[in-house]
Every structure is written in structure tokens, then in C-alpha cells.
């Protein structure tokens, strides 16, 4: 046994900052971990050279906040022969190509569930504001165009039908809130979850077309994948109940922004709550930012003190688990386990266990 390999620290790199001090505090409590802050002060090449010496990489999840050179893809992984594990800084992993990780024998984990409460609360908050026409009232009052109050007559959320696209951690928590607090009926479209499991999570499993046609509010909670990209397009919006509400706290590119704008202008959509964008933040002249029936937020649904503390803590714990020669939870590419285990043994002189 190579004791030097066994005892060497598991070096985890991050670019410039972490989302919350909880990551550094949790990592510091494990002597097997060594945090490595990558700085751009001396340029990208110097930071990439330091990254090449590390075992783990803690990666920003928002694609427009991470320089392209640090996105995890084939080109980057070819430069990182020592890398064993990549951890996303959130539930999403837009900046990481899972197939590239698998080809390189690198384990990919996310922090799914860590911000579920924050995102679900944000989604329900948007539903309440939109169904009561708060953005339209706000826009009219700011413009000095306040009218008779009846012009802004909204509806109650109580008893409405909510369609949830994706019933994972966030979709399940959103379902629980609207059912418990507002006695909503919930329809769910999720091709990866069977009907029995969907029912246990409080919803009825349906196909996408049925969900769109029957829902008063459609709330998007699926990850961005090749299958979900532009799933809310002009055809999908035309299939929605006329005057329905769209809320998305998932990822930009799942909804077609031009199609959403057209549906709002035609009255097909009554209003929309948009926390995620194709470009983040969107340009200041983006027409959806100025539409009176839209609530806009800057991908902040999951950005609360509580959620940031939780997702960073569980990320640090995942790296600690890997440093202790055990498989961490929340693995995105489980098919890589065999090759990853062989690479781990070669690099660190220990057999990894589940």
C-alpha cells in the first residue's frame, strides 16, 4: 500500500468564492480535505494549472457567472488528469457536461434538495402575486395610471389546478404547499417518475398536453436537459388554458422567451413569473422585463441564507465522503462508478466503497 497516497489530502478547488461560508467551515472540520481557492489575478492559465493539481472541483452552477474556460467539458477534463470528483454548487449543473465526466471517469454530484424549500416558496409567492394581478397594479400605479380597482380584479389561489412540470425535490415541496395551504389540485408531468410515486408526492401523473390544457397555473421545476430544452415553446403555450399563468424557477432555455412574450401579448397567458433566463441577468432592454404582467427575479429563488448554508454544507460533506473512500450521495452519472473506483484506487491507494 502506498501510504503517501493514502494519507495525502483530498484537494478541492473552487474559483474565487463559495456561495456561503458553510462550505469552508464544514470542509475545515475534516483534516482529510484541503480547500484550494483559484484566483484570476494572474490570469486563467495560472488558475487552470492550479486546478490540474486537485482531486475535486466545486463548480459554479450558473453558466453566465462562470468563465467559459472553467466549464466542465471534454476540453477542460483533458487538462485535469488528477480530477476524481466534480460537485455542482446547486441542484442544477448547466456548467458541467455529465457525458464528459463519465468519459473521463470523473464522478459528478449535485446538491439536489438543499434549496427545495427556498425555491418552492418563491414559486408559490409568484403564483399568489400573479393570480391577484399585483404586477399589473404596481405598473399602473407607478405610471400614474391607477384605475378603478375592479380593473385589477384577480382570483383566489384556493382550489385552483396547478400543473407541476418535474416532481423532484422542488416540485414535490411546491405540491405540498399549494395542497396544504390552498387545497389545490396538482397535476404532474415527469417522465422519470412512475404514477404511484407521483401520487405519494401528492399529485396526479398526466402527460404534458393534459397538464397544459387543464392547469390554471403551470410551474416549471425540471432540470435543463436536451429533452427539456424549449419544452415550453409556442406549441406548448398554445395548448395551455387561455388566461393561465406560467411560473418558472427551474432553468433558462426550458421556456422560449419570445414565445412567452407573444403569448402574453395575445392574452393566451395572463401573466408570468420568471426567475430564470436565457442570459443571466437578461439585458436591461429585454421586453419581458418591462411587461406589466410579468414578475422578474434574477435566478434568486434558491438564494436564501438558509438554502445557501445547506447546499454548501452538503457539498462539503460529499467531498469529505469521497476523501474517506466512500461513494457520496446525489450522483448524477452512476454509470461511471466502476471506472471512477479504479481511478480512485490508482490515485489514492484505497478501494472506494458504497
User: Which residues are known catalytic residues?
Assistant: 251, 280, 299
Instruction: Give residue 31's region: left, alpha or beta (phi > 0; psi -120 to 50).
Output: alpha
For residue 174, with 0-12 CB atoms within 10 Å meaning exposed, 13-18 middle and 19 or more buried, which class applies?
buried
Per the CB < 8 A criterion, the answer to whether 322 and 329 are in contact is no
The pairs formed by 148-156 with CB atoms below 8 angstroms and a separation of 24 or more are 155/131, 156/131
Count of Cβ atoms closer than 10 Å to residue 349 Cβ:
16
Listed residue (36, 56, 29, 80) closest to 323, CA to CA:
56
Q: How far is Cα 177 from Cα 144, in angstroms, rounded to an integer?
A: 36
Cis peptide before 281 (omega within 30 of 0): yes
Amino acid at each position: 500500500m502506498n501510504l503517501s497516497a493514502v494519507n495525502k489530502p483530498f484537494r478541492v478547488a473552487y474559483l474565487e468564492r463559495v456561495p456561503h461560508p458553510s462550505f469552508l467551515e464544514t470542509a475545515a472540520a475534516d483534516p482529510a480535505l484541503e480547500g484550494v481557492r483559484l484566483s484570476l489575478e494572474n490570469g486563467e492559465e495560472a488558475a487552470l494549472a492550479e486546478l490540474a493539481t486537485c482531486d475535486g472541483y466545486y463548480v459554479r452552477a450558473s453558466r453566465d457567472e462562470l468563465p467559459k474556460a472553467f466549464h466542465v467539458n471534454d476540453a477542460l477534463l483533458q487538462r485535469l488528469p488528477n480530477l476524481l470528483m466534480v460537485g455542482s454548487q446547486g441542484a442544477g449543473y448547466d456548467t458541467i457536461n455529465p457525458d464528459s465526466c463519465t468519459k473521463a471517469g470523473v464522478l459528478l454530484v449535485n446538491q439536489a434538495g438543499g434549496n427545495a424549500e427556498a425555491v418552492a416558496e418563491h414559486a408559490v409567492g409568484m403564483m399568489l402575486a400573479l393570480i391577484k394581478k399585483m404586477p399589473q397594479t404596481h405598473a399602473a400605479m407607478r405610471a400614474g395610471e391607477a384605475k378603478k380597482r375592479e380593473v385589477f380584479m384577480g382570483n383566489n389561489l384556493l382550489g385552483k389546478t396547478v400543473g407541476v412540470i418535474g416532481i423532484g425535490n422542488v416540485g414535490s415541496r411546491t405540491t405540498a404547499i399549494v395542497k396544504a395551504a390552498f387545497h389545490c389540485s396538482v397535476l404532474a408531468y415527469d417522465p422519470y417518475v412512475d404514477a404511484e410515486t407521483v401520487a405519494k408526492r401528492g399529485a396526479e401523473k398526466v402527460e404534458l398536453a393534459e397538464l397544459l390544457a387543464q392547469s390554471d397555473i403551470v410551474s416549471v421545476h425540471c432540470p435543463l436537459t436536451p429533452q427539456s430544452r424549449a419544452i415550453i415553446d409556442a406549441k406548448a403555450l398554445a395548448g395551455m388554458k387561455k388566461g393561465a399563468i406560467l411560473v418558472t424557477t427551474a432553468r433558462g432555455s426550458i421556456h422560449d422567451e419570445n414565445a412567452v412574450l407573444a403569448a402574453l401579448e395575445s392574452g393566451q397567458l395572463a401573466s408570468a413569473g420568471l426567475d430564470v433566463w436565457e442570459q443571466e441577468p437578461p439585458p436591461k432592454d429585454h421586453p419581458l422585463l418591462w411587461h406589466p404582467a410579468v414578475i422578474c427575479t434574477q435566478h434568486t429563488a434558491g438564494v436564501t441564507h438558509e438554502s445557501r448554508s445547506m447546499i454548501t454544507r452538503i457539498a462539503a460533506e460529499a467531498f469529505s465522503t469521497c476523501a474517506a473512500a466512500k461513494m457520496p450521495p446525489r450522483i448524477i452519472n452512476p454509470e461511471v462508478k466502476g471506472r471512477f473506483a479504479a481511478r480512485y484506487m490508482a490515485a489514492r491507494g484505497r478501494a472506494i466503497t458504497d
